[in-house]
Every structure is written in C-alpha cells, then in structure tokens.
A and B are shown apart, each in its own frame.
Chain A
Amino acid sequence: MLSRVADSIYWISRYVERADHLARFIDVTREFVLDVPTAKGQTPGKDQWSPLVSVTGDEALFYGRYDTADATSVTRFLTTDKLYLGSIVCSLDQARENARSVRETIASEMWEQINGFYHWFHDESRGTGMMVREPGDFYRNIMQQCMLFQGITDATMSRGLGWHFANLGRQLERADKIGRLLDVKYFTLLPKVQDVNTPLDNLQWSTLLRSVSGFEMYRKRYQEIDVRHVVDFLILDRLFPRSVQYCLFEAERSLHAITGCPIGAFSCKSEQLLGRLCADLSYTEIDTIIEGGLHEFIDDFQARLNQVGEAVFERFFAIAPTAEPKNELQDHSGDVPPDVINQAHVQSNL
C-alpha cells in the first residue's frame, strides 16, 4: 500500500475519532454545568469550562481571541474555530480532505458518510443552525455521525493493510482522548468531604461514564459508582472497548498485522514502544496508579503514546529513496532538495 495512502487512512480515522471525543468533552461539560449550582456573581460553569482550555495547551491562542472561558467561548473555540487546529471543524475538514485523497482506496460508503457529515456540520454550525438552537442534539449528532463512520469502516473494509491502518489510528487516538478526559475531569470531580456519596457525586461520575458510552457496561461490572472503580474501568478494563488498555491492545494487534511480526516480538521501533506500554499497563493495578497520582500517570502515558505515533510515521509513512537522480538540464544536482514527505498533521493536545 502507498505510504501516502496508508498515512491518509490512518489520519482519517484519527481525525474522526478526535472530533467524536471533542463533542463528548463538550457534551459532558454542558451536563456537569447543569448539575452544579452557580454561586452568586460567578460566571456559570467557569470551573468547568476553563480546564478544557488549559488542556488544549493553546491558552495563549484562546485568551487572545476570547475574554473569558465560558460556555459560549469555549464551545466556539473547540467546535468552529478554524484558527485552533484541534477544533472539531478542523478535524472534520482534515478527515474529509484525506478521504478525498484516497477515495479510490476506501469504500464509497465511507466517503459518502464523511462527505455528508461535513456538509451537515457546516450547515448546522452556521447562523441559527442546530448548534445554536439545540446544542445537546448537535453534539450527540456529531458523536453518532463519527460512530457511524467508524462502523461503516468496519463493515466495508477488507481486513487488509487499509483497515489495520485505520484501526491503528482510531485506537491510538481513542486511548489518548480517554486519558485526557479522565485527566480533565478527575480533578474537578475528586470527592469533596461534604459531597461524598451524595446524589450529586454519583450523578457526575455517571455523566462521565455516559460520555464515553460506558455507563451500562460499568454498571454490569461494578454496581456501585465509586471513583476508584471508575478510574480502573476506564484505564485498565480488558473488555470495555473504550478503556485505555483495550484500545492499546487493539492498536498492537493491528500494528503486528501490518508488519506480520508476532505479538511478543518486535520488528520496528513502533512495535517495541507500543509493546512495552501494553506490558506496563498489563502488570499494573489501579491503586498504584492513584497513589502515584493520576495526572502524572496520564502525562507519562501520553508522552509515550506520542512516541509510538512518531515511530509509526517513521516506519511506514516516511519512506525515502537511497539515491537522487541527476538533473538533465544543467549539472547542479546538489541543489535539488531531498524529496521528503512532509505531512502536516496536527498532534492535538486535546
């Protein structure tokens, strides 16, 4: 498979997954704000919205464009701001642009879904579209469209290289975003003495679980809502498809399917890095993570996940020739710049 095509397929599913999770972040935050009473004289939900900005790592960009972090400014920033390259609109535009460049490789249903989604999003985020009228429906619709795309991918693509690259991108992105969601919400949700085991506390953890479509599955696993179990479920559960551990196992499976190297051994750096990360997660337990600090754990995990992403790029997408041909017009072959694939994909922090 062409490196550029593999690269595009990998990024299409990463970008779609990213848009999905941004919508989830915003949706869960909106729900939290509705649950928490606002003190007099305070901007509603200020404590909830500003962490979403800080975690983007683009606070300077945000505060250069908006005065305060409230529902309107933060949702605009994360949804429709074209200057913030990690926004939903940028992710979706990139996903579609990549899909357009590999239309001949993916199933036409995949293209039609992403294309229809793109047009729908642009129509509804303009003027008095659904984004303004019914923001709840708007974000849930985005999640659905993203999941529909992933579902179509799974239902139409042969389990060859193409699908494995798509799956690799999707799983790495999902692991990353679930980690971030926990990171953002853990702090604001940590039980305050007066709230422990109150309906409010329960409600907020349930909302978090719902935002990763995990409420029912969690209930089957642990009946009571408690912070240690929720964190355990979202990081280490081996059966829930949106736990960090599960996503990494899936990513590893696809990576090894691509190279043909058996799991447990490695043929390239990306396999080595991902294999180690999976092993570390396999042999750790939730109490160790919480004692060491969840934030520190997620920080370290994310740094290692980024290294995996870089190694995947080096191994599969940046194939360079070994010799440059000579110029026919004049002999100044030394001036010819090396032909390097330079895909400007965005490593988003949120």
Chain B
Amino acid sequence: MIAFDGYQCEGFFDEMFDAQGQVRPEAKLLVELIQSLPDGELESRKAAIERAMYRLGVTFTVYGDEQGTEKIFPFDIIPRMINAAEWVEIEKGLKQRIKALNMLVDDIYHDQQIIHDGIIPRHILEMADSYRPQCQGLNPPHSIWCHIVGTDLIRGADGKVYVLEDNLRCPSGVSYVLQNRMLMKRSFPGIFAGSTIKPVFDYAARLYDTLAHLAPDAIDDPTVAVLTPGVYNSAYYEHSFLAQQMGVELVEGRDLVVQDGFVYMRTTDGLQRVDVLYRRIDDDFMDPLAFREDSMLGVPGLMQAYRAGNIALANAPGGGVADDKVMYAFVPDAIRYYLKEEPILANVPTYLAIKDDDRQFILENLGELVVKAANESGGYGMLMGPSSTQEERDVFAKRIEANPRNYIAQPVVSLSRVPTLIDKYGEKPHFEGRHVDLRPYILYGKDIWVMPGGLTRVALKKGSLVVNSSQGGGSKDTWVVEAESSDQQGGV
C-alpha cells in the first residue's frame, strides 16, 4: 500500500485534498481504495495499463531515432476528480462561451457588427493570422462554424476555474480520454461499479450525430468521413480511432476528388459521393486551390464544393480567428455583446502588447509574467517569466517591441495539483503533487453537449507548469463524481 500520509499540498490548490489536508468528499472512495491495496498493486496495475497501450499501439514515434523507438503518451494512474455540483457550473459556462464564439465568428465573416459597435478594434481582426478572407460571406449549415471544440481550463491558487485557451480548429486528445477510461475501468472495476462517475463512452455516437446533422436536409443517409493528413501525423491514432468508433471511412486527401462541384471518394467500385467531412487538416492545407498551393495533403476544389453547399465541413474553415491569443482577450466582451449575459467562466487576466500601457507593463514585469506568441501552440514561443534567464527575457523584449501584435502576457497562474504516482528506480513509490489543466470537449450540433470531464493533462516534471505532451506532459483520467455517493462502499 502507498499511503498519503506524507503527502504535502505545499500551498497549491490540490484537487484531492483541501487546505487542511482533508480528503475532498468526491475523492474519498478513491483514497480509501488506494490505501487498501496491497504493496506493489498500484504499480503493477499501472504497468499493465502501459503494456496494454503499447500493444494497442496508442503510441507516438520519437523522431530522430534511427530505431524508430515508439513511446506511449505518459499516463498517470491516479485520476483527477471533479465534484459533479461544480461541473454543472463549468458546463453552463462552456455552453455559453461556445455559443458566443460561434456568433462572433459568424459576425466576423458577415457584417462585423461587433467591430462597428466598437467592442473589438478593427486592427485586431486585420492583424489576426487566422482570419481567412476566403471565408467572408460563407454560410455554414445552421450558422455553426465550430462544432467540435476543446477548451483548456485551469484552476488557480484561489480555487477558481479560468479559461486559458479556446481551441476551435482541430482540438485533439479526445481519444486518450476514451482509451484512458477504458483501461481504468479494467483496472478498477470495483470503484466504477460502486460510484457515480459520469460516463464518457457515448462521445463517438454524439460526434456522429453532430456530423450527420450538418448534411444537406435532402440527404437521408449521409456519407460521413474523417479526413486525416495521414499516418505520419502525430494525431493519426486519434483520427483512425474516431473513424473506427463512428463506423465511418477514414480518408486522406488523395482518396478524395472534386468533380462538378461535388466531393467523391475513390473506391474500388469507382467514385462515391461524400456529404460530411470531419476534417483534421488545418485550413491552410485543406485545399491547395483556395489556401496554400504547396499543400500535398489537401483536396483541390474542396472549398469550391463547400461554398456551393455540396459538402459540409466540421469545423468550418476560418473559425480559428476566434481562438487567436489576442482575440481571446475580447471573448468576455463578446459574450456580453451577443448574449447580454455576464460570462460564467472567467478569462485569465491578459495584457496585450499592442496596447501602449499594457506593453509598458509587460516589458517592466517580464520576470513575473507568462508571455505567449499569438500564433504558436503546443507550448512553443512561450516565455515563463519566473524561471527565465535574463538572456531569454532580453530576446523576448526585442521580439515584443518588433512585433507587438503577436504577443500577449498573463500573470503566472499556479495551476492546481493532483497527487501523482512517482515510481522511480531506487526510490520507494510515493505520491507527489503535479500541476494539471483540463480540456473538456464540446460538441455543437442540434444542441450543445459537453463531455463530462475531459482530458486532464499533467506536467510530470517536478514543479513544471507546462502540460503539453511535446514538453514532457502526460495525462490522467478525469472523473466527474457525485460527492454524496462517497459513503457507498465499492469493492475492489
């Protein structure tokens, strides 16, 4: 058994224990279970899960290694718990946000009322890299642009949940949620039987409904397909997994052709029409005739077919304009503007380098802030002030002055932590707190549906706040639990 006796919250908000070191009600059952396991049991269950991932091929290739070593996406066996009562509020907030973001995108590509009314300055839009003039005037089915969204949430030391980022283009990671859950269920059947953990398994069915909803009304039984950049893409496993779970074709650009304004797949029986594409290729690479000409991955003529209403795309091209890191700062205003409501979920306070006052503040406080480049993701192009060197700060100061539009800064949010199994060679296995964020997945079809929980990413390096998998991050299963059920007994 590994006890929590020596576990320290160290002044951070801990998702499992409160400030007095008491187990939070939603985690009670789990803590009891862990404390009742015989020596070595937790480690061996973790090893079994990792072996299963390897066998299933839930792996990514480590580039630059001649042997083509494959690694699994690191996984921690201790789940992150969320109280169901709190989840109700988060869910409301996400629905509100996604609704407003879609109205914002639709407005930007039509009359731009929000700019005429002075809520968002015109230059912010004009300088946004992800704005696509090709999409001006487009009318996606049901006026929904962003159907599949993954919003990054964090919890600060104050215990409050903030939105860190809206991912409106091709958010990835949902397959890990489903695989993690499946493997956790195999490892801890007892606890699932005895508690009220909200299920996530229906994601694929709901995704299919969301996609089928987009097909032109006249089509009864639409042909839906997932469009992938191909087997060398790092998220390929997910593309293939989702296609398989939905029972639809997984296609690459070279499988599709546009003829007379319609999109077809090349089959062994000739060409077959496609009605809806869940495309996991960025706007830029989708159609070499409309966007980047050098794209080898896309489908020539796809945009033309889209404009004619002959194919539905999820997500619609151009939606990325609203998840731009600068546009982010204006989302709370957009919520008030379109919905006449106060935002339920707060933004992290954000300084825009393009504003003179803010820039001054940023440059004077580089050592305390997180600076982000607007058009980078995956944890690249980022300066973590408190852990930076003077040299790094100087480089960023120059970049900010040269191109203020491209930079924002936020105070360092000391992300909440979750106990994580530390099982290093030569050390007794024990728990230490590691920082986490949360990416719930939202589907916008006939209604808005929020997956209960989502992907918890964990920074496995001690003290690190960067959870991205490219920077040493891993994942945890996420359990949304009714706290009341904690006194029920679950067998192991």
Seen from chain A, the residues whose Cβ lies within 8 Å of a Cβ on chain B are 1-6, 97, 100-101, 103-105, 108, 111-112, 115-116, 119, 122, 161, 165, 258, 316-317, 319, 321-329, 336, 339, 341
Contact = CB atoms under 8 A, between A and B. Distances in A.
5 A-B pairs closest in CB distance: A325-B301, A104-B244, A321-B257, A319-B266, A104-B243
Interface string B239-261: 01101100001111011011110
Contact of A100 (B231, B254, B264): B231
Contacts of A6: 267-268
Contacts of A104: 240-241, 243-244, 250
B268 A326 contact: no
A321 B273 CA distance: 13
A111 B57 contact: yes
Contacts of A317: 268
Contacts of A165: 268
A3 B255 contact: yes
A119 to B, nearest CB: 8
A328 B306 CA distance: 13
A323 B231 contact: no
B267 A116 contact: no
Which interface residue of B57, B236, B244, B257 has the most chain A CB atoms within 10 A? B57
A45 to B, nearest CB: 31
A326 B231 contact: no
B254 A2 contact: no
B254 A341 contact: yes
Contacts of A323: 259-260
B244 A4 contact: no
Contacts of B288: 336
Contacts of B134: 328
Interface in B126-152: 134
Given A105-B250, A327-B293, 14 more contacts: A1-B269, A2-B249, A2-B267, A2-B268, A3-B266, A97-B231, A100-B231, A115-B55, A325-B301, A326-B289, A328-B304, A329-B289, A329-B293, A341-B266
B208 to A, nearest CB: 13
Interface string B457-473: 00000000000000000
Contacts of A2: 249, 251, 255, 265-268
Contact of A103 (B240, B270, B289): B240
State which size class the interface on B falls in.
35 or more
A101 B233 CA distance: 11
A339 B300 contact: yes
Contacts, number: 99
Contacts of A122: 67
Interface of B: 54-57, 67, 134, 230-231, 236, 240-241, 243-244, 249-252, 254-255, 257-260, 264-271, 288-290, 293, 300-301, 303-304
B257 A100 contact: no
A244 B249 CA distance: 35
Contacts of B56: 108, 112, 115
A116 B52 CA distance: 11
B285 to A, nearest CB: 14
A321 B259 CA distance: 7
Nearest to A4: B255
B175 to A, nearest CB: 12
B304 to A, nearest CB: 6
A115 B249 contact: no
B73 to A, nearest CB: 16
Contacts of A116: 55
B74 to A, nearest CB: 19
A160 to B, nearest CB: 11
B290 A329 contact: yes
Which interface residue of A4, A323, A324 has the most chain B CB atoms within 10 A? A4
A202 to B, nearest CB: 44
Contacts of A103: 57, 240-241, 244
B300 A161 contact: no
B256 to A, nearest CB: 9
A325 B266 contact: no
A316 B269 CA distance: 7
A320 to B, nearest CB: 8
A2 B254 CA distance: 11
Nearest to B247: A104
